[in-house]
Amino acid sequence: MRTLHIAGDNVVARSAINVIAGSKCLANALHGFAIAVIVAVATLAGSAPASAQFFTREVPPKLEFFRVKAKYTVKESGETVAFDFVRPCRAVYGRDFNGDTFSLGPGKIDPSDFFGYFVGDFPKVTRDGHAVVIKIPDVCSGKSVRNDGAAVDFVPATRWYDNADDLSYGIMYAAEEAYQSPWAKIIFDGASVQSATASDFKDWQQHAADDFRSSRAVQHPFGFSNSDIMGGKLIATACFGVARLELPPELKDLAVRARPSSDTRFWTLQASKDAGGDHAEAANQLLEEFSHPKNRTHLFGGRLLNRYRPIYGNSSVPTEDRGSIDDRSARTGELHPVYHEAFALSTFAADRQAARPLYTDIDLRPESRGFLLCATTIPFADLKKAAEGLSWAGWFAAQTPIAGSPHIPTDTPPAFFFENADYLHLRSSQ
């Protein structure tokens, strides 16, 4: 069985190989299909510029090149892992079937391209055979860098992989406090991004191979290519967990009423509705407080709920003092990772042999704060076949069932659930 050691021998999280499911993933799949069709048609129309121009157009970027620097120290060995690379910003746009434009990112839709739409991460292999991967910040609009070329500090979304030859499972340092955990494998020593020039880009390419260390999964000094990310290699880029937020005082009375029972620690509004009576009525009122526009004024930790966008929609980690490089008002909240993932193919055989049902657990121990568990994805048909004969026990948090969680296997936590009448847990993903 493959395992991911977050800390010592007594702290182990199973590898997670998740299925893409749900409306969000369906939308992403349709969007990807639209991109493929658009680019294919534009390519075929190369001999007819007018036709090709309808589907794709090139817009001069505000920033032509940018340089990213980041430095980490591996705790166990004391090794310094330093990133210093330059990226281009050739902005390419396509049109969807409604005629609206959307970004295809810098570079080309080319499987061998290292600077294309799908390449959003840059890897480094340590001398002990681990890997550190950082998310490349989205700064081509120019809004996140200084006009005078000075560096801007930020905190990259960083993933750690125990085995640089196998990047199918890993841990994301999704908040600054993850580096303070005794489970942390690395120390963050700072990062910056600044504008660069064509000369900088050329110079970096010429020297990128200096001190380059490869693995089975990291084979080029320019980093990952489109084909690596699109399926050429198994790279865990989807990361999962929850953000734990204290309920505003004005909502706690409603939460007390909606709570299915006084001994139910984790619960969803569905559990309240199933309990009926005043529980169901309070659950409807609580949902109204969250969802109705006129009621979206409640402060969670002094901020509106929509300010907590841990990673999704941000290309850097939001910090408490300055937000993310994309959104200065974004914050993470108290993040915790998925601990045991029901959809790891490596766990199916063990679960079947031990006559265990499938389940997924969220780690709420203090040491887990700031982490998310990262996983590769597999086709739903493969998942369904692998899970044959296994029952589904549901979603757990701190090894305790989440009352009202889905009765069928799902690969992500409920969108939100409650802890006693004190906390709201929001699904967090990258």
Q: What is the DSSP string of 308-351?
A: B--STT-SS--BTTTB-SS-TT-B--EEEEEEE-TT-HHHHHHH
CA dist 156 and 124 (Å) reads 14
Which band of pLDDT confidence, cut at 50, 70 and 90, is reported for residue 149? confident
Q: At what angle do helices 277-291 and 249-258 cross, to 10 degrees?
A: 150
Average pLDDT over residues 128-137: 95
Choice between 141 and 350, residue whose per-residue pLDDT is larger: 141
Any idea which of 35-49, 124-138, 216-230 has the lowest mean pLDDT?
Answer: 35-49
pLDDT of residue 351: 57
With tokens 């589907």, the residue in question is 55
List residues bridging with 362 in a β-sheet: 338, 397
Question: What is the residue extent of each domain of the chain?
Answer: 240-429
User: Which tokens go with 65?
Assistant: 């090149």
Choice between 105 and 285, residue whose per-residue pLDDT is larger: 285
With tokens 């790891």, the residue in question is 344
**What residues contact residue 146 under an 8 Å CB cut-off, 6+ apart?**
152, 194, 195
Which band of pLDDT confidence, cut at 50, 70 and 90, is reported for residue 143? confident
CA dist 423 and 283 (Å) reads 15
Q: What are phi and psi of 243, to 5 degrees?
A: -110, 125
Which band of pLDDT confidence, cut at 50, 70 and 90, is reported for residue 309? low
CA dist 273 and 288 (Å) reads 14
For 328-340, the pLDDT digits (tens) are: 767 778 999 987 6
Fill in the amino acid letter for 207: H
pLDDT of residue 236: 83
Fill in the amino acid letter for 51: S
Residue 21: exposed, middle, or buried by beta-carbon count in 10 A (0-12, 13-18, 19+)?
middle
- Collapsing DSSP to helix, strand or coil, 177 comes out as helix
For 158-214, the pLDDT digits (tens) are: 999 999 998 988 899 999 999 999 999 999 999 999 999 989 999 999 999 999 999
pLDDT of residue 387: 63
Any idea which of 76-90, 263-277, 292-306 has the lowest mean pLDDT?
Answer: 292-306
Q: Averaging pLDDT over each range in 14-23, 206-215, 410-419, which range is the top one?
A: 206-215
For 241-254, the pLDDT digits (tens) are: 899 999 999 999 99
Any idea which of 25-29, 139-143, 279-283, 399-403 has the lowest mean pLDDT?
Answer: 25-29
Average pLDDT over residues 296-310: 73
Average pLDDT over residues 86-106: 58
pLDDT of residue 367: 94
Average pLDDT over residues 376-385: 59
Choice between 76 and 350, residue whose per-residue pLDDT is larger: 76
